[in-house]
Chains A and B, each alone.
Chain A
Amino acid sequence: MPLILHGLTPLHWAVGGAGIAIITLALLFVANRRLGISTGLEDVCSFVLPVPYFARDAVRSARQWRLPFIAGLVVGGFLSAVLGGGFTPTWDLGIFDQVIGFGPAGKLAWMFAGGLFIGFGTRLAGGCTSGHGIFGLSNFEFPSLISTLSFMAAGIVTTQVVYRVIF
């Protein structure tokens, strides 16, 4: 199955997984940092929302590395597009377009709604696929196992309901 991005052929899963492992380990060994991306959402919120939760030491002390890392994620996606056929802004959403078929306004609403679940859920769980799923599981942390099982199960149920029941 080609990627939505320019119909490119994806890397072998073992290469993708090894690359993720190398960066995760490099962050720890070079800079003593625990991989975690969703906490970066808090770093952004902490600039505009004056509530105690965003004034935690854990948030303020990590801005200096999480925000540059996140900026890098955007750069990485941009480079991938440029090197893979050019940067061309698109609404293309793969099987969503074939099966659900909402236009741009519907997609924005759909994505914003999903984003709310991602933002609230990852903060309540204390992590996402990176902090719990990759780092936490690799470090044998029980809360990460619970969280990972929970978000995988909920993702499976939601997609099955959306693509096999509703649409």
Chain B
Amino acid sequence: MALLYVFFGTIFGFILSRSGAADYNYIQSMFLFTSFQLYGIIGTAVALTAPGIWLIKRYGRTMRGRPISIELKPQHRGNVVGGALFGIGWSICGMCPGPIFVNIGEGKIYALAALAGALAGAGLFGAVYTRVQGLFRLPRLVVGTGDG
């Protein structure tokens, strides 16, 4: 099963690499409104994924017959504040999380620093979660053994 995910990730990474979605200049030109490329990519992806998800949910099962269950993301104040912080980081690095890994694979040395920063930032959030939970009305943690 793990190999299947490596395969999907490889195709996804190749597309991000070759479409401009992992390219610093294309990210900046999206935010500068000087190129339509990234708006076209994201718009097309959503326009095709939306009816696809609708069809799969209507069918109700995976290819192998297991029931489809989509875990919805919670709504809270963090959506706005976290989104804004992420947008600043996306602009600074010219990479969102997927393209950080793609750029590392392409051989962009500085992407390793972006990854180190992203891991440190995520780690920091995990460490202060219980302290900012009330402020952002974040959901209670469900901690257990998990199945992983």
Binding site for B on A (CB under 8 A): 1, 3-5, 8, 10-11, 13-32, 34, 37-38, 40-42, 44-45, 48-49, 51-66, 68-81, 84, 87-96, 104, 107-144, 146-160, 162-164
CB neighbours (8 Å) of A150 from chain B are 79-84, 87
B134 CB to closest chain A CB (Å) equals 14
CB neighbours (8 Å) of A11 from chain B are 15, 18-20
Known: A115-B115, A159-B91. Is A80-B18 also a contact (CB below 8 A)?
yes
Q: Which residue on B lies nearest to A142, using beta carbons? A: B75
A54-B126, A75-B13 known, 12 other contacts, Cβ within 8 Å = A28-B52, A45-B119, A61-B148, A95-B25, A115-B89, A115-B115, A116-B118, A126-B82, A128-B97, A143-B74, A146-B75, A150-B82
Known: A14-B40, A31-B4, A126-B82. Is A1-B119 also a contact (CB below 8 A)?
no
Other-chain contact of A17, B10, B17, B40 (Cβ < 8 Å): B40
Binding site for A on B (CB under 8 A): 1-33, 35-50, 52-53, 56, 62-64, 66-76, 78-98, 100-111, 113-127, 129-130, 132, 136, 141-148
Taken together as a complex, chains A and B put the C-alpha atoms of A129 and B102 apart, in Å, by 14
Known: A5-B23, A32-B69, A73-B102. Is A55-B93 also a contact (CB below 8 A)?
no
In this complex, the member of B38, B40, B78, B89 whose beta carbon has the largest number of chain A beta carbons within 10 angstroms is: B89
Known: A44-B119, A141-B72. Is A116-B110 also a contact (CB below 8 A)?
no
Cross-chain contact B63 with A30 (CB below 8 angstroms): yes
Cross-chain contact A69 with B97 (CB below 8 angstroms): no
Cross-chain contact A90 with B107 (CB below 8 angstroms): yes
* Majority DSSP secondary structure for residues of B touching A: helix
CB neighbours (8 Å) of A92 from chain B are 108
CB neighbours (8 Å) of B8 from chain A are 23, 26-27, 69, 72
Cross-chain contact B143 with A56 (CB below 8 angstroms): yes
CB neighbours (8 Å) of B117 from chain A are 111-119
Cross-chain contact A120 with B121 (CB below 8 angstroms): yes
CB neighbours (8 Å) of A136 from chain B are 73
Q: Which residue on A lies nearest to B146, using beta carbons? A: A60
Cross-chain contact A3 with B23 (CB below 8 angstroms): yes
Task: List 17 A-B pairs, Cβ < 8 Å.
Answer: A19-B11, A19-B12, A31-B4, A59-B146, A66-B5, A73-B105, A77-B17, A80-B106, A94-B28, A120-B122, A120-B125, A121-B86, A123-B82, A125-B83, A130-B96, A154-B87, A158-B31
Taken together as a complex, chains A and B put the C-alpha atoms of A135 and B54 apart, in Å, by 12
